[in-house]
């Protein structure tokens, strides 16, 4: 059975459009501004897998000139409505030709690779992202930790899917978002840290920094597992080539 990206769906897009950065999602983006400030020079940004545009607007608030690309026209309709002056482009599933010839100082991929099912497709896209970097450009790859599919969280529940605990790299896992009106499970592809490191290396990328953000007790959310287990992993990547090409 082929894997279908659940976000290619108008109902899901409408629910996701209302989502900002509540609860567990807050941890995904909390540390990225400081990470970008330390490692990125230049203003040209690509939001790869921009969805409904919240992550693109996030980049713009950091002072970056951001373009959003996504494979879902339903999501892009919401992104354009949210940010009428923005640039949001429909991309194919298999390449980045829509931004061919452009180079970016920073590329953000927020949860996109959770929904890309095979090592071959991941490798192809990471290679294209590397080739889209400006000299000294960086990739911020934000992904779900395998642990997110095994516990309960402020923004997610997985208790209905005990099979997640046996999942290995490449297996489908399910999770339900508690902060949106659409109660249908989201189906992702589990990918381990070691498997990401292998794909990065094969794509000609090196890891500069890895973050596993934990919640703090003084933050204004009702944490469940977040103070002891990291739901997300953030990889800061650069090209192995000195020129960034």
Domain positions in the chain? 10-145+192-239
Position 244 pLDDT exceeds 80: no
Average pLDDT over the chain reads: 91
Q: Which of 47, 231, 209, 237 is nearest to 140 (CA)?
A: 237
Is residue 36 helix, strand or coil?
helix
Give the CATH number of domain 10-145+192-239: 3.40.50.150
Per-residue pLDDT, averaged over 84-99, amounts to 91
Return the half-sphere exposure (C-beta side, CA atoms, 13 A cut-off) of residue 80: 12
Q: Give the pLDDT of residue 10.
A: 55
Closest by CA to 32, choosing from 92, 106, 83, is: 106
Backbone angles phi and psi of 58, in degrees to 5: -60, -45
CA separation for the pair 2, 4 (Å, rounded): 6
C-alpha 161/C-alpha 103 separation (Å) is 41
The Cα–Cα gap between 73 and 71 comes to 7
Global pTM value: 0.90
């Amino acid at each position: 059975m082929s894997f279908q990206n659940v976000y290619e769906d108008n109902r899901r897009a409408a629910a996701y459009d209302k989502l900002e950065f509540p609860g567990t999602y807050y941890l995904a983006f909390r540390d990225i501004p400081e990470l970008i400030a330390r490692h990125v020079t230049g203003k040209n940004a690509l939001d790869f897998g921009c969805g409904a545009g919240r992550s693109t607007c996030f980049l713009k608030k950091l002072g970056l000139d951001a373009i959003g690309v996504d494979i879902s026209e339903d999501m892009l309709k919401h992104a354009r409505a949210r940010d009428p002056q923005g640039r949001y482009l429909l991309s194919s599933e298999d390449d980045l030709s829509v931004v061919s010839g452009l180079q970016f100082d920073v590329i953000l991929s927020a949860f996109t690779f959770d929904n890309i099912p095979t090592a071959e497709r991941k490798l192809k896209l990471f290679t294209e992202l590397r080739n889209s970097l400006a000299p000294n450009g960086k990739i911020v790859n934000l992904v779900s930790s395998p642990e997110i599919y095994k516990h309960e969280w402020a923004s997610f529940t997985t208790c209905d899917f005990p099979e997640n605990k046996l999942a290995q790299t490449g297996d489908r896992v399910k999770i339900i978002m508690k902060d949106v009106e659409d109660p249908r499970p989201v189906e992702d592809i589990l990918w381990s840290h070691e498997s990401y490191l292998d794909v990065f290396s094969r794509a000609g990328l090196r890891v500069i920094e890895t973050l596993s953000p934990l919640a703090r007790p003084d933050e204004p959310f009702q944490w469940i597992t977040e103070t002891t287990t990291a739901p997300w992993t953030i990889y800061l990547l650069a090209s192995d080539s000195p020129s960034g090409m």
